[in-house]
Chains A and B, each alone.
Chain A
Amino acid sequence: MKAFSTLYRTLDGSKRTNQKIAALVAYFRDCPPADAAWAIHFLSGRRIKLGVRRADIKAWAAQEADIPQWLFDESYNAVGDLAETINLIVPAGKETLGHGLTWWIEERLMPLVGATPDQQRCLLVESWKQLDPSGRFLWNKLLTGAFRVGVSRGLITRAVSEALSAPMARVEERLMGPWVPGPGLLAQLGDAASAADPASPRPFFLASPLQDKITDLGPCNEWQAEWKWDGIRCQAVRRGRRAYLWSRGEELVTEQFPEIARQVERLCHDCIIDGEIVARRDGSILPFHELQKRLGRSVVPKRILREIPVALIAYDLLEQDGTDFRDLPLSQRRGHLEELVRPVAGDQIMISPIVEGDWSELEFQRSQAAQNFAEGLMLKRKTSPYRSGRVRGDWWKWKVDPYVIDAVLVQSRRGSGRRAGVFTDHTFAVWKNGVLVPVASAYSGLTDAEMKELNAIIKNSGLEQFGPVRTVKPEHVFELAFEGVSRSARHRSGVALRFPRISRWRRDKVAAEADHFPALEAMITKTPIIKREITGELFPDWPGCGTDPTNQ
């Protein structure tokens, strides 16, 4: 655990990429292969489900520290991180065990799975006593599933490829796939002979927000414009008549969208399609929160399947029958995509419509995006290859200007993690029949100086209270920006704001001058209509299956 602690300290403390990579390379080279595999597992954001209740962890920690539960909870509020709170509160043991990372995971974390609460408690308490402080902090982080450190996937890829002297591209592709930690992982990532799992997705190409003027992009005919959908980015992989749907977080979501998977299976070729999953009913795209009902379930109930139909809007083709298309220009990929998808296009798979027009027409179209339940337009350079990661220059997201309202700050909550102890989560209200109704929570948007000032105000206003939440005297007005408003039964106000954030502090306004509820209601997006440019028909048994349409 010591080597892993040292690695963590360097990664956590350094802002320099080279220093981080050097530390990673040294760790991968020197540690046992099983430790390296677990490190890659956790550093790349994967977790293990241990089935230990958080409430239990808190209770056992309080008992070990011999303090009342409320005092543990207060401490947790101040620290904002359970792993660290335990570390600071639970007395350390007299002797520490010097085992490596793999031992602490396989002997002390994995056995928690399926254990009784009593057994779990024994494992936890014993481990807390046997770990040195820095090791205990990390072990707690793994235990609570909150292990995070500032390394990107790209950095891990670079370090692994350097440590193994293997090409970056190979390591990157294999890291995308469904691998499991184990002593053989490193070799598997670098070995030229072992093929990457064919069902794995490719690194996603990510667009950047457009900040320049649209005319700075050059001639309009060099660009392809599409709607920017408000859905879930997805790579649909078809391998040997089986479909695998991957989210951007590289999780398999095939089970959540079975009807899309079935259509992907009906495609005529093995392939990898990039696109967006949206909720879509009667030709209209539904708000994102409807789509969310599909997620986070292992089995989607029939009722949800029926009520929230979904579609894959396909916009790129990365591979077909084992041929990598990523280096082809977008215009060619698009041609292949249309040929591939058209036979099965319909309610479950559609091709992302191209929005035509010159810059001024596109500017107008963008302003109409909300009517289509899109967030704006995507601009893609027609000659661009399919790159990997967030590379600026070829793909831009050109979102609609946000909606704004003036709202009153009514409540603040302390943040967690690096924002622990600071009031960062603010609740805002607007007037409705003479009272302030909370309509949104916003976390970001203030400058550091404003945040400081606001914190001082919140700390000094009102009496000392327990818990992380403070009621604030309603006298500060802020302009909130957001992407849209929809009706919502889950919110007490009856509306949900999408991506609300603080755009400025209206010091010129008093609470009475804040906006009224009807102003917000007026912004509720009408049920949107999508132009069904390519609807296609359903061909359950497309006769061309198995043959190459390019040869027809």
Chain B
Amino acid sequence: MAELLRVTTEGLYCEAGDFFIDPWRPVARAVITHGHADHARGGCASYLASVDGLPVLRARLGADAPISTVAYGETVQLNGVHISLHPAGHILGSAQVRVEHKGDVWVASGDYKNGSDPTCLAMEPVRCRVFISESTFGLPIYRWNHDDIVRSEILDWWTECKNTGRVALLLGYSLGKAQRLLAMVGHDGPGPIVEHAAVASMTKAYREAGVALPQTRVAGEGMPEGGWAGSLVLAPPSVQGTPWIRKFGEISTAFASGWMQVRGARRRQGFDRGFVVSDHADWPGLLEVIAATGAERVLATHGQVAVLSRYLSEKGIDAGPLATRWSGETDGTESEPAP
């Protein structure tokens, strides 16, 4: 059977339908799984994305970007190829792309997680013959705790910061992670929540899309009454070591990421605390989703490609690598591209 999707110099290409999924170079037709910079790049002549993700994508690609939207599950036809988007549970509007042609079904996962997230729809595994799966956390050391546990860890830390007169600086991706953290802490925090401008613009997009988030203020608007101490500041990891953080006075710095599962990763970057919160599937999550797709063939991309392929192969699944340029969750040592 011919390859329905393959990697070219531009991106993941469907020849039968003549379109790309999350291309890394400008192309005529791009189907976008979600708004993170390594998946949604500017310059394409037309975009197709989920309607849920439109405000986010607009914030990233600009108000004039030629974006068409579909609802989850709705089918678009291109040259006899059926394309539909399905919730990936990664961030607001994130989608898996199901591509069907002459009875052959492929699904490109984009980034996904199958845990709970109050800011987006839960991941729905889609049955297919070939599943292109991300593998960011494809090692058995990665097992996420339930959100409730992390939530109380964060609130405890924040309270401790307040009690010692410090600012709780919580670092995380400005798109997706920051809003999920906001929703997690909700209205229960011991002080005001302050956002970095990059976070604030994404939070605005989330609110426009109807996601309920606690009240926040932008750091640039000035100091809250009673000073910065005791507030929770949400910012992208790139602010680490920049003059921006100086105005807050004494801070305790925490990073919210799946990488914080490993002690060395936290210590190396000098974080005071690490909270294990990821928008990617953990090891059991990857295996669970892959099994639920019923795929007879799995192509692993960005992350633990070799490990996941080998493990699945030993379990009797036809598995191999697919070399894409998506990066998954970076560990905070690389700066996040500006929104």
Which residues does A use to contact B, with CB under 8 Å?
Answer: 13, 65, 67-68, 70-71, 74-75, 78-81, 84-85, 88-89, 416-422, 452, 455-456, 464-466
Whether B334 contacts A417 by the Cβ 8 Å rule is: no
Whether B306 contacts A465 by the Cβ 8 Å rule is: yes
Looking across the interface, which residue of chain A has its beta carbon closest to that of B273? A13
| Interface 9-residue window, one of B103-111, B175-183, B212-220, B262-270 | B262-270
Q: Collect the chain B residues with CB atoms within 8 Å of residue A68's CB.
A: 311, 314
11 A-B pairs besides A89-B141, A466-B307 with CB distance below 8 A are A13-B272, A68-B314, A75-B139, A75-B141, A78-B141, A88-B261, A418-B267, A420-B268, A421-B262, A421-B331, A455-B333
Whether B141 contacts A88 by the Cβ 8 Å rule is: yes
Those of B239-265 within 8 Å (CB) of chain A: 261-265
Given known A71-B311, A452-B333, A464-B306, contact A80–B264 (CB-CB < 8 A): yes
| Chain A to chain B: the 8 pairs with minimum beta-carbon distance, closest first | A420-B264, A88-B141, A418-B267, A464-B306, A75-B141, A418-B264, A75-B139, A464-B305
Whether B140 contacts A71 by the Cβ 8 Å rule is: yes
**Cα of A71 to Cα of B314 in the assembled complex, Å:** 11
Contact sample, A vs B, 12 pairs, CB 8 Å cutoff:
A67-B140, A71-B307, A71-B311, A75-B139, A81-B264, A84-B263, A84-B264, A88-B262, A417-B264, A420-B265, A465-B306, A466-B307
Whether A421 contacts B141 by the Cβ 8 Å rule is: no
In the complex, how many angstroms separate the beta carbon of A421 from the nearest chain B beta carbon? 6
**Cα of A417 to Cα of B305 in the assembled complex, Å:** 24
**Cα of A245 to Cα of B141 in the assembled complex, Å:** 45
**Cα of A200 to Cα of B264 in the assembled complex, Å:** 37
Q: Collect the chain B residues with CB atoms within 8 Å of residue A67's CB.
A: 140
In the complex, how many angstroms separate the beta carbon of A68 from the nearest chain B beta carbon? 7
Whether A464 contacts B321 by the Cβ 8 Å rule is: yes
Which residues does B use to contact A, with CB under 8 Å?
Answer: 139-143, 261-265, 267-268, 272, 304-307, 310-311, 314, 321, 331, 333-334
In the complex, how many angstroms separate the beta carbon of A296 from the nearest chain B beta carbon? 28
Q: Collect the chain B residues with CB atoms within 8 Å of residue A13's CB.
A: 272
Q: Collect the chain A residues with CB atoms within 8 Å of residue B267's CB.
A: 418
The DSSP consensus for interface residues of chain A is helix
In the complex, how many angstroms separate the beta carbon of B225 from the nearest chain A beta carbon? 30
Given known A452-B334, A466-B306, contact A74–B264 (CB-CB < 8 A): no
**Cα of A67 to Cα of B142 in the assembled complex, Å:** 14
In the complex, how many angstroms separate the beta carbon of B163 from the nearest chain A beta carbon? 15
Q: Collect the chain A residues with CB atoms within 8 Å of residue B261's CB.
A: 88
In the complex, how many angstroms separate the beta carbon of A19 from the nearest chain B beta carbon? 11
In the complex, how many angstroms separate the beta carbon of B266 from the nearest chain A beta carbon? 9
In the complex, how many angstroms separate the beta carbon of B282 from the nearest chain A beta carbon? 11
In the complex, how many angstroms separate the beta carbon of A404 from the nearest chain B beta carbon? 28
Q: Collect the chain A residues with CB atoms within 8 Å of residue B139's CB.
A: 71, 74-75, 78
Q: Collect the chain A residues with CB atoms within 8 Å of residue B331's CB.
A: 421
In the complex, how many angstroms separate the beta carbon of A62 from the nearest chain B beta carbon? 10
In the complex, how many angstroms separate the beta carbon of B307 from the nearest chain A beta carbon? 5
Whether A419 contacts B268 by the Cβ 8 Å rule is: yes
A71, A79, A464, A465: the one within 8 Å of B264 (CB) = A79
**Cα of A500 to Cα of B264 in the assembled complex, Å:** 25
Q: Collect the chain A residues with CB atoms within 8 Å of residue B140's CB.
A: 65, 67, 71, 75, 88-89
Whether A79 contacts B307 by the Cβ 8 Å rule is: no
Looking across the interface, which residue of chain A has its beta carbon closest to that of B263? A84
Whether B262 contacts A418 by the Cβ 8 Å rule is: no
Looking across the interface, which residue of chain B has its beta carbon closest to that of A465? B306
Q: Collect the chain A residues with CB atoms within 8 Å of residue B143's CB.
A: 88
Whether A78 contacts B262 by the Cβ 8 Å rule is: yes
**Cα of A365 to Cα of B32 in the assembled complex, Å:** 70
Q: Collect the chain A residues with CB atoms within 8 Å of residue B314's CB.
A: 68
Q: Collect the chain B residues with CB atoms within 8 Å of residue A466's CB.
A: 306-307
Q: Collect the chain B residues with CB atoms within 8 Å of residue A84's CB.
A: 262-264
**Cα of A81 to Cα of B141 in the assembled complex, Å:** 12
Whether A418 contacts B333 by the Cβ 8 Å rule is: no
Q: Collect the chain A residues with CB atoms within 8 Å of residue B262's CB.
A: 78-80, 84, 88, 420-421
Q: Collect the chain B residues with CB atoms within 8 Å of residue A71's CB.
A: 139-140, 307, 311
Q: Collect the chain B residues with CB atoms within 8 Å of residue A70's CB.
A: 310
Q: Collect the chain B residues with CB atoms within 8 Å of residue A455's CB.
A: 333
Q: Collect the chain B residues with CB atoms within 8 Å of residue A65's CB.
A: 140
Q: Collect the chain A residues with CB atoms within 8 Å of residue B311's CB.
A: 68, 71
Q: Collect the chain A residues with CB atoms within 8 Å of residue B333's CB.
A: 452, 455
In the complex, how many angstroms separate the beta carbon of B146 from the nearest chain A beta carbon? 14
